[in-house]
Amino acid sequence: MSDVRRLTSVGRLLAGGLLVVFGLLAGSLTAVADPSSARLDQLAAQAAKAGTIIWYESSPDDQAAKIVAGFEQRFPGLKLEHVRDTGGNSIGARIVQESQSGVRTGDLATTGSSIIEPMIARNLLRKIDWAADGLDANMAPSPYAVRTTAVVYVILYNSSLVSEAQAPKNWLDLLDPKWDGKIGIWVRGEGQGALAAAWGEDKVVDYVKKMNARHPVVLKSTFPLAQQVAAGEILVGFSLYHSAQPPIRRGAPVKVVVPEPVPVETLYSVVPEKAGNPAGGELVALWLATPEGGKVYEDATDRGNPLLPNTKTHALLAGHTMAEYPAADAGKEAVIVERLNKLIESGATE
């Protein structure tokens, strides 16, 4: 089952049917994040008794330090320790290993649904009454998870070497022969996999094969991809919005195109069952879902929560159709992405 959603300027996610997330159905897609200060302070008092709060997440250390500083300023006396997992792909395995070994694991983990679903199946995550904390079912679509941020796939181009008129306007424009050997893509097919939620697997597989025929430069990370666009080493790229922001801030000639539909991957925060400071984990997850915490997170990472109207990500996606598999289909999406990864790596055109 696919999930194609539209985010309007007033903060509503509209869908043709009901949204399926973690097995829950949400008919109204208006996000509410309104935890009371009293509840936050209550959790902070409980967390203080348990000591340091440990958070597993993928942001680089310099970005994480800004989030930690914002949290500790809001909650004086609490200590938040960020443990980086590059890409976030090993977070689940780490929690499984620590839980099986009977040792303390992290108090909070922020990652994708494909990592979270197996942990739910193994009873490794805590159920929390997020509604009692002040969050509605769209911000907290599961008793296990809270929406924290979103990864947004976009098109980049070098505006010094490519005019606005010549620039690609949609995903199919990237297949134009004029980009042969001049386009960059990520070695991972995550964005194309999300696109399959709207297009279907067959169309996306055909798209990747046609992209391979354009002899793309395949990179291991979207950050050097954006840097190569900035330097003019490649002219266009199928990339990530947040990866493009550092060179844009430096004044590099990088422009962003947000095509239809927009592939999106939501990242959620969860509290492990074996957390040593579960109140602390719940507190951090709750704070990140508030306008204050969400802004601190986005300002540090350039990845924001589209359900929070004060985020730049909300403004970026306003009025656009978003393509994303619901968390309940994480296994299906993983199979599609693996197929696309092999196609990208092989360069196959047939």
The whole-angstrom separation of Cα 280 and Cα 52 is 8
Block residue for tokens 């306003």: 318
Q: Which residue, 55, 84, 83, is CA-closest to 270?
A: 55
DSSP state for residue 220 in the 8-state scheme: S
User: Beta-carbon neighbour count of residue 150 at 10 Å?
Assistant: 25
Q: Domain segments of the chain: what residues?
A: 4-150+266-309, 151-263+334-345
Q: Which residue, 180, 181, 218, 225, is CA-closest to 340?
A: 218
Q: Per residue in 18-58, pLDDT tens?
A: 233 333 333 333 455 677 888 999 999 999 999 999 999 98
pLDDT in tens, the chain (350 residues): 344 444 433 333 323 222 333 333 333 334 556 778 889 999 999 999 999 999 999 888 999 999 999 999 999 999 999 999 876 778 999 999 999 999 999 999 999 888 888 899 999 999 999 999 999 888 998 999 999 999 999 999 999 999 999 999 999 999 999 999 999 999 989 999 999 999 999 999 999 999 999 999 999 889 999 999 999 999 999 999 999 999 999 999 999 999 999 999 999 999 999 999 999 999 999 999 999 999 999 999 999 999 999 999 999 999 999 999 887 787 888 889 889 999 999 999 99
Block residue for tokens 């619901």: 326
The whole-angstrom separation of Cα 229 and Cα 305 is 26
The whole-angstrom separation of Cα 255 and Cα 236 is 9
Is the Cβ–Cβ distance between 39 and 349 less than 8 Å?
A: no
Domain 151-263+334-345 CATH class label? alpha beta
Token pair of 83 as six digits: 């443990």
Q: Which residue, 317, 268, 319, is CA-closest to 119?
A: 268
User: Beta-carbon neighbour count of residue 69 at 10 Å?
Assistant: 13
- β-strands 80-84, 53-57 pairing: parallel
The whole-angstrom separation of Cα 231 and Cα 223 is 13
Block residue for tokens 């969050």: 135
Count of positions (residues) in the chain: 350
Q: Per residue in 55-84, pLDDT tens?
A: 999 888 999 999 999 999 999 999 999 999
Token pair of 221 as six digits: 């990370």
| Fold matches, 4-150+266-309 and 151-263+334-345 | yes
Domain 4-150+266-309 CATH class label? alpha beta
